[in-house]
Copies of this chain bind each other. A is one copy, B any other.
Amino acid sequence: MVAEGKGVNKEGAKERISDSTSEFNSEDFFQKTYKESNVAEFFRRNLHMLGYAGPLKNLTTIVHEFVTNGLDACEEGNILPEIAVELESLGERDMVVSIQDNGTGIPESYIPKLLGKMLSGTKFHRYIQSRGQQGIGSVGAIMFAHITTGQPIKIITSTGNGTIVTAVMDIDVKKNEPIIYQMLKSKGKWRGTKIIAHYKDVLYQKSEQGVLEYLRRTAMANPHAKISLKEPDGNVIVFERSAKKIPPKPVEMQPHPLGISADDLRGLAINTEARKISTFLSTGLSRVSSGKAAEVEKLCSGLDFSADPKGMTHQQAERIVKAFKEVKFVSPSTEGLVPIGEERVEESLKNILKPNFYSVVTRAPSVFRGGIPFQVEVGLAYEGEAGRAVTIKEDGRTKSGKASEIMRFTNRVPLLFDAGGCAITTAVKSVEWKRYHITDFENSPITVIVNFISPHVPYTSAGKQALSEDEDIMAELRFALMDAGRKLKSHLAGVRREQMKQRRRDLFNKYIPEIARAVSKLSGTAEGTLKDKLQKLVSLRLKSKEFEEEEEAALEEDGQKGPEGDREKEEEEDE
């Protein structure tokens, strides 16, 4: 109960009642205006929150929703994914989109709600690294077909049991419930899901935020997937898999005691099958043995650990959570996390960006908010096809050039929108790239790839396009970027050194003939002999230790420390 004695300020009451509102009838007003709504209506009115904001973004969002579902369904069944996206133009901004996967398929009885009711699904409550998490996206994509064309969608799916189900269905937005128009079964040996839907207000464009780039990046982060796209003009683009092995399947985890609040603990207690608080703790949480549970019990003197966990009060949960913080637990299990892996990121980089230099870092798993495991991977690609092609204006003329490019991924899903509000962008921009021989980051031919994986990705909105700026996450992102930066630096330093030596060599060589001629005239020695001797001298000089040191100093100065340099150093040492 809240503190007492916080009653109404009676003194002010008289004054306040004396305005012009005696005619206002509250009952009447509420009767006329009160209404209940549902989550589908909410997102129907706030479509941009789901990623629908303009025809280009609309199409990318639709493809994104079904492709991530397809990849998740393959992962669930340990299947090498094969995703086929087909776009058929029916007119201006008018398109039939079909997306087929070879995943586990959807059992007949789950089709209606899974695709026709928001906040229903198989991932929402599971603590596992998956692409989809919220049970909103794919229903949103079906709703968007309904909104733009009023057409139902068609789903063909089979779990591989010999029966293929074809459903024609829609979502009743006013009720957030599915409407089934047709549900047919046929015999056939096939497994997977194909969704066919008709959209308006969609646009296919080969731009940075378009479908092709989305799929290209999806292929980069999922080198074991084969992804094809049939463009509206009939042209087919295939991203072949560069890795043939199925990556290990992410494992469903239990929450770690240091990652949960009192309210979380009560939420878990309500669903447990354990009959005692002690067994609930040791079976429902990660890293809590019965020994550790006993330690916690000791710290909560007076609290009966043989009581039914379902009856746990908030105060009791608070005491337990407080006790958690005093017990030493093993760090959260991270076996459930499956990074792309340095080797595969490398393959992807080489395969798709063909860079002259690159570096890849997969950091060790870490935790945020006390107990939610996550892991960061970074790839840096330099020159080759890395960087973003741009047009540069210089003295009134335009020429093509390269600018830096940031590719953001969460659980291997590319994020193409809302870059400005994303922790990954902030982290990349906060790094003092000069320290790693990238003197002008913005205008360098560099691609920075960041993949963030976690069973709970803290997105800033339901559109899942930006990572929230959590302190622990930010720190880890920066460490990963700096690690990769250091690796790249040694490559670049080698190149720079070579370039610098060559420049000096060229300079000396340019003057050797002149000097030889002059000295020859003075001394009478043959010009050719002098030239040879001078050239040998220069070569020796260029190899000498002294010279190397001069070069080092020049390079150091080049990658000079900015005002942030020291802070970064400190952070690295903190590590």
* A interface residues, Cβ below 8 angstroms from B: 1-3, 6-10, 12-14, 16-17, 19-22, 24, 26-27, 29-30, 33-39, 41-42, 46, 48-49, 53, 76-80, 82, 84, 86, 88, 90, 96, 98, 100, 102, 104-107, 110, 113-114, 117, 119-126, 134-136, 146-154, 156, 159-161, 164, 168, 174, 188-192, 194, 196-198, 246, 261-263, 266, 270, 313-315, 317-318, 393, 418, 420-421, 458-463, 466, 468, 563
Contacts and interface: CB of A to CB of B under 8 A. Distances in A.
Given A8-B192, A49-B459, A150-B314, 6 more contacts: A17-B189, A26-B104, A26-B161, A29-B104, A48-B460, A150-B266
Contacts of A102: 12, 16
A4 to B, nearest CB: 9
A523 to B, nearest CB: 56
Given A1-B168, A104-B29, A20 B78 contact: yes
A159 B21 CA distance: 10
26 contacts: A3-B196, A6-B196, A8-B190, A13-B188, A13-B191, A13-B192, A14-B189, A16-B190, A16-B192, A19-B78, A19-B246, A20-B246, A21-B77, A21-B79, A21-B160, A22-B160, A26-B107, A34-B120, A35-B125, A36-B120, A37-B119, A146-B263, A148-B261, A150-B314, A460-B461, A461-B461
Which of A78, A262, A317, A461 has the largest number of chain B CB atoms within 10 A?
Answer: A461
Contact of A27 (B88, B107, B460): B107
Which of A21, A38, A123, A150 has the largest number of chain B CB atoms within 10 A?
Answer: A21
B263 A24 contact: no
B190 A13 contact: yes
A110 B30 contact: yes
Contact of A104 (B6, B24, B160, B317): B24
A318 B16 CA distance: 51
B121 A24 contact: no
A149 B314 CA distance: 7
Contacts of A2: 96, 151-154, 168, 196-198
A563 B123 CA distance: 50
Contacts of A90: 3
A263 B461 contact: no
A35 B191 contact: no
Leading 10 A-B pairs by shortest Cβ distance? A150-B314, A421-B421, A26-B159, A461-B461, A33-B122, A16-B102, A13-B190, A21-B77, A37-B119, A147-B263
Contacts of A313: 150
Contact of A198 (B3, B136, B466): B3
A190 B14 CA distance: 7
A152 B1 contact: yes
B190 A10 contact: yes
Contacts of A418: 421, 460
A147 B313 CA distance: 12
A21 B81 CA distance: 12
A315 B147 CA distance: 11
Nearest to A154: B2
A34 B420 contact: no
A122 B35 contact: yes
Which of A34, A80, A82, A126 has the largest number of chain B CB atoms within 10 A?
Answer: A34
A119 B314 contact: no
Given A30-B107, A314-B150, A36 B196 contact: no
A33 B78 contact: no
Given A8-B194, A468-B53, A119 B39 contact: yes
Nearest to A124: B37
B107 A24 contact: no
A17 B41 CA distance: 39
A9 B538 CA distance: 68
A501 to B, nearest CB: 37
Which of A6, A80, A120 has the largest number of chain B CB atoms within 10 A?
Answer: A6
Contacts of A149: 314
A411 to B, nearest CB: 16
Contact of A113 (B36, B39, B192): B36
